[in-house]
């Protein structure tokens, strides 16, 4: 059976996450329902399972289909059947049968958007986390630098995490600062690793926000890491600002 990779974009707010759940709206369920309008499909596999309310710019999934579809026609047909849900197939590609959206991935990239301004969000509501107080970008970056590398990330791991080990290698945690024309500042957390623990990125951001607000020092972030204790973590940032921004493979399955 031909195997296809799908690059999927979605707004996470209406969904109870990526993974199919009985009687709940999920992104996987929506894409599988659209696929079943074309031909019977049991399930699809994705690069990562995003939580309720989390968005994706470039989730990757794969599916085996009986029919030999052209990638363009497949993406067009799926987008037709996905309407009016905030889910889009931005690219489709025929891939080798040994390609696996999850296990073939070399790296996953996440983006977290945090906006600091007094006024509530309007256009960006549900797409970023707003805090009303100023934030010190240098303090947050100093704390973030302590997290980069190979560590036991028990402190930043949800109690529901099913990963076999809390030890992971964090390749990048970089904070970009943008002055917004309508007032305020946006802090973009660029996070990169081969794999992540459950709630790891949101735990990072919530903890670093405390450093930016002056409630913690950068050294407190390092101490929280060394504690290897979930109770030492700062508040978990809300899902609104989190995006699965990209997945890297040995070769880009969507390259033309």
Question: For 129-155, b where at least 16 C-beta lie within 10 A, e where not — what string?
Answer: bbbeeebeeebbbbbbebbbeebebbb
CA distance 227 to 37: 51
Which of 51, 152, 171, 220 does the annotation list as catalytic?
Answer: 51
252 is annotated as an active-site residue? no
Closest C-alpha to 216, from 153, 144, 161: 144
Does residue 131 contact residue 120 with C-beta atoms inside 8 Å? no
Does residue 110 contact residue 201 with C-beta atoms inside 8 Å? yes
Does residue 108 contact residue 185 with C-beta atoms inside 8 Å? no
Main-chain phi, psi angles of 60, to 5 degrees:
-125, 130
Main-chain phi, psi angles of 22, to 5 degrees:
-65, 130
Closest C-alpha to 115, from 126, 130, 136: 130
Which sequence positions are flagged as catalytic?
Answer: 51
């Amino acid at each position: 059976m031909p195997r296809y990779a799908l690059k999927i974009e979605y707004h996470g707010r209406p969904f109870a996450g990526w993974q199919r759940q009985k009687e709940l709206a999920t992104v996987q369920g929506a894409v599988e329902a659209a696929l079943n309008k074309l031909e019977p499909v049991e399930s699809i596999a994705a690069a990562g399972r995003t939580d309720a309310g989390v968005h994706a710019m470039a989730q990757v999934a794969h599916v085996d289909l009986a029919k030999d579809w052209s990638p363009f026609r497949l993406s067009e047909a799926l987008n037709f059947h996905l309407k009016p849900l905030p889910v889009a197939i931005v690219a489709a590609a025929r891939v080798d049968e040994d390609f696996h959206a999850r296990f073939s991935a070399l790296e996953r990239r996440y983006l977290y958007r945090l906006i600091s301004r007094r006024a509530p969000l309007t256009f960006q509501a549900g797409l970023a986390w707003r805090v009303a107080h100023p934030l010190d970008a240098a303090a947050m970056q100093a704390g973030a630098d302590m997290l980069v590398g190979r560590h036991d990330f028990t402190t930043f791991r949800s109690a529901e995490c099913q990963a076999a080990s809390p030890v992971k290698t964090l390749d990048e945690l970089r904070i970009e600062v943008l002055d917004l024309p309508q007032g305020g500042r946006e802090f973009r957390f660029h996070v990169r690793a081969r794999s992540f623990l459950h709630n790891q990125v949101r735990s990072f951001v919530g903890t670093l926000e405390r450093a930016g607000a002056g409630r913690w020092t950068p050294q407190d972030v390092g101490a929280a890491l060394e504690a290897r204790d979930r109770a030492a973590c700062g508040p978990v940032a809300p899902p609104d600002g989190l995006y699965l921004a990209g997945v890297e493979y040995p070769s880009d399955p969507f390259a033309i």
